[in-house]
Structures are given as structure tokens and as C-alpha cells.
Chain A
Amino acid sequence: MRPFGDLEAAIMQVLWDRGEPATVRDVLGSLQTPKTLAYTTVMTVLDNLHRKNEVTREMHGRAWSYRPLRSRAEHSAALLQGVLQDAGDPGAVLMHFVADLDPAVVTQLQQAVRAAQTEKDTPA
């Protein structure tokens, strides 16, 4: 999964912030960019996002209304997973607090920690 380009990211932020379908004109009105963008530029980017399956659109009256397909959290979770998957060598590139574990072992460790906590809370 590829991260968004700058303009794509800015437009997705507008769509996520609104929480309701937006037309090209709506997006153009809410976009905070250093210089004013052309209507056609925003239209092209939204069209690309639609092609990439990031937004869905419906015809309202005479204009398309765009809505994100995934929530912001779902999107960043998917990106994070991608980042972690191809991060490269563990230890050299990033260091996890915990590695992925065998679920059976996790249960054993949970019991050990709980036992230690109980022991600490009720001193003999």
C-alpha cells in the first residue's frame, strides 16, 4: 500500500474531517494550501483517489460527492502494518517492545505475572 502524496493527503484530511460526502467545490473551500488550487486540479486528484479505491462517489444533483472508503484509523493501521512488514532487519532498522509470540506461551506468561502481582499485593 502506497502512502498518499502531499495533495492527496491534504484532500483526504478534508474528507475525514467533514465526516459527510463532499463535492469538489466543498473540498476546494476547506483546503488549506499555500496557494489557491484550480478546480480541475482538485477534481483530478479526487478522480485518482477514486480510481485507487480510496474514496467512493455518488452523483448528487449535477456533481459527484466523494466519501472516504476507510476511516482515518483504518487507513493508518493498514499503513502501519505495511511499514512494519517491510521495515528490514530487526534491531538495525526498528526495535519492537515485544515480538510476536506463540499464544500458548502468552497465556503461561500472563499467569506468571498475575501470580507475581497477587503475591506482591498480599505480603505473607
Chain B
Amino acid sequence: MTATWILGAAGVALLLLGPRLRHAGWVERSPKLAIGLWQALCLSAVAVPVLMGLTLLVPATVWVTDIAGWVHACAQSIQDAYGFHGDSLEPAIGLLISAATVAWTVGWVTVEAIGAHRDRRRVRDSLALISAADPRLGVHVVQAAAPAAFCVPGRSAQVVITSGALEVLTPAELAGVLAHERAHLNARHHIAVVLSQSLQRAFPHVGLFATATAQTRRLIEMAADDSAVQRVDRLSVASAIVRLASMQAPGAAFAMAGGAATHATTARVGRLLAPALPLERGRQGMVLVGVAALVGVPLLVTVAPTVVAALNHLCAVSF
């Protein structure tokens, strides 16, 4: 039972402390690392209840004999290490927690992924009727005066830009816009968004997932800007953002997400104009250790009693 309680405490800590990552100052300095950390937080928050269920379930099943064989211990000592007393209720609860969490999560991720895939295909089909490929730029151009640039990810991903945007952007600004959009596609940013968003839909009362989704949307823009400034100077990327923003008529999207979007774009321009150095090597390493720990520690806690039983080689025979 100790492992179960430790996992439970870890889960509560994740849900309470995880969302506070959004206040960390370094995330805007190394947005790619931060995206990884948010993904690890989400993964861990789902894995913990599944593993908790397993620590209740496995000692009661016939698998325990197999496991005992692999680690050269005996089933009884493994069961003791998990604090299993032959109670029939615990395994049932364990099975329920694990199976329900896995089924619910996988179900929602599948539904969201299929929905996004279908929406993207519909958008691509509609765009095919109004855009023409420009092989020189490697983009699809829509003949429309309103300036806009965006990408549609997925299997036949494409970058789309309007003729209005092509007219107003300088060559350097255009190169920055295209590099930004290609960075989204190459890094498969949409997968990070779909995953955290699926969890948000699956567990709407868990603040961690809502925060992770909002932060991921914000950070992927900064990560794509970082890729763009490897192609063109920072100022051109900043002026491209401001030029296109100034020519867009605030539409329905603004009314819905105006505040957050405005804040995110202001932050993007700010870090392009006054760049902070990326996180130092040592602190990058610490974040990577954090990512590994978020995924690894719950697994270790789950298998620890088995390992202990194996190391002790003890067979607590009780009559």
C-alpha cells in the first residue's frame, strides 16, 4: 500500500503545483524545453492514477507468480511488499481505476485526433478550390486582399498566404513568416496541442490540463519565432508580426480570445526586440532531468516493492 499512497501524494502534488510552471520566467527563454515539460506534466498526471490502480491490482493476480519468477523472488514476498493482505476489494478498485483512466483518456485522445484530422481535411479541401501552389515559395497563395498567413498541419501539410500579405511584406519579413510557419509543421506542434487539449476535454475540472493547453498554444508561437530568427534577423520577424496584425480587421476571433491573444503577441514582439539568452546549459539539463523524473519516478515507485522483494530474496512463508 505504501507505493499506492506515495503515488497518490505525487498525483496531488502534480495537480496542485504543476500549473505554477506558467509563472516561471525561464519558459519564454527556452520555449521548446517548456513545451516538453508541459507534455511530461500531462503524461505524468494521467500515468499516476493508472499506476496506482496497478499497485492495488497486480499483487492479487496470477501475474504475480510470473513476476516472481522473473525477479527470482516468491509471490508471497512481492505481495507482502505491496502490502497485499488477500483483501478482495482492493484489486477490484485497482482494476477500476486503471482501466477507467486508460479507456477514458485513450477514448478522448482518439476522438479529438479524429476530429482535428477531419477538420483539417475539410479546410484543405476548401483551400484547394481557392488557392494555387507557388512552387518558387513553396506555399499556397489565395488571391485575397486581406493579409493573412497560416499553416494547416497534418499529412499533406501546407503553408497558406494571401496575395494581400505577399504585397505588404518585405522580402525579409516574408522569409520570416514562412520560416515561422514551416517550423510549426516540422516540429509537429499540432500534436502537442491536440494531446493537452484532449486531456482538457477528458478532465474538464483538472486545471493542470487547461493551463497546459493555453501555455502550449502560447509557447509554440515563441518556439516558431525562435526558428524564424535563425533564417532572418529578429527585427524582420517582429515587424512582420506587427505589419500583419495592423492590417487585420479585428473579427469574431478577437472577441472570443482577444485578451489572451493580445497578451501572447505582445510577449512575442517583446522577446524579439529585447532577446534574453536561452537558458544556460546547466539549467537546460535540470529541466531535462525534471522531464525524465516526471515520467520515470512514478514508474519506479510502482515497481519498487517488486525490486525490494527481489533484492531480499526472502520468502516470507507464513502458516
Task: Pick 24 A–B contacts, CB within 8 A, sort by A.
Answer: A4-B129, A76-B130, A76-B144, A83-B123, A83-B126, A88-B120, A89-B116, A89-B193, A90-B257, A92-B112, A92-B193, A94-B120, A95-B224, A97-B149, A99-B257, A99-B261, A99-B262, A102-B254, A102-B258, A105-B265, A109-B266, A112-B273, A113-B239, A116-B273
- Beyond contacts A96-B149, A113-B235: 15 other A-B pairs, Cβ-Cβ < 8 A, are A76-B144, A79-B129, A84-B150, A92-B193, A93-B190, A94-B151, A95-B190, A95-B220, A97-B180, A99-B264, A99-B265, A102-B258, A105-B262, A113-B239, A117-B239
Task: Give the residues in chain A near B242, CB-CB below 8 Å.
Answer: 106, 109-110, 113
**Which of B67-75, B96-104, B245-253, B303-311 participates in binding chain A?**
B245-253
Tell me if A106 and B150 are in contact (CB < 8 A). no
CA distance A84 to B254 in the complex (A): 13
> Nearest Cβ distance between residue B54 and chain A, in whole angstroms?
31
Say yes or no for B181: interface residue by CB 8 A criterion: yes
Main secondary structure on B side of the interface with A: helix
Tell me if A109 and B245 are in contact (CB < 8 A). yes
Q: How many residues of A are counted as interface, with CB atoms below 8 angstroms from the partner's CB atoms?
A: 42
> Nearest Cβ distance between residue B201 and chain A, in whole angstroms?
10
Tell me if B150 and A91 are in contact (CB < 8 A). no
Tell me if A9 and B129 are in contact (CB < 8 A). yes
Task: Give the residues in chain A near B149, CB-CB below 8 Å.
Answer: 96-98
CA distance A120 to B238 in the complex (A): 14
> Nearest Cβ distance between residue B172 and chain A, in whole angstroms?
12
> Nearest Cβ distance between residue B244 and chain A, in whole angstroms?
5
Closest to A87 in B: B123
Main secondary structure on A side of the interface with B: helix
Say yes or no for B143: interface residue by CB 8 A criterion: yes
Known: A76-B143, A77-B146, A117-B239. A93 touches B273 (CB 8 A): no
Say yes or no for B167: interface residue by CB 8 A criterion: no
Task: Give the residues in chain A near B143, CB-CB below 8 Å.
Answer: 72-73, 76-77
- Identify the interface centre among A72, A90, A100: most chain B CB within 10 Å of its CB: A100
> Nearest Cβ distance between residue A57 and chain B, in whole angstroms?
23
Say yes or no for A103: interface residue by CB 8 A criterion: yes
A100's contact among B180, B194, B224, B251, by CB below 8 Å, is which? B251
Task: Give the residues in chain A near B194, CB-CB below 8 Å.
Answer: 92
> Nearest Cβ distance between residue B211 and chain A, in whole angstroms?
15
Interface residues in B136-154 (C-beta closer than 8 Å to A) = 142-146, 148-153
> Nearest Cβ distance between residue A6 and chain B, in whole angstroms?
9
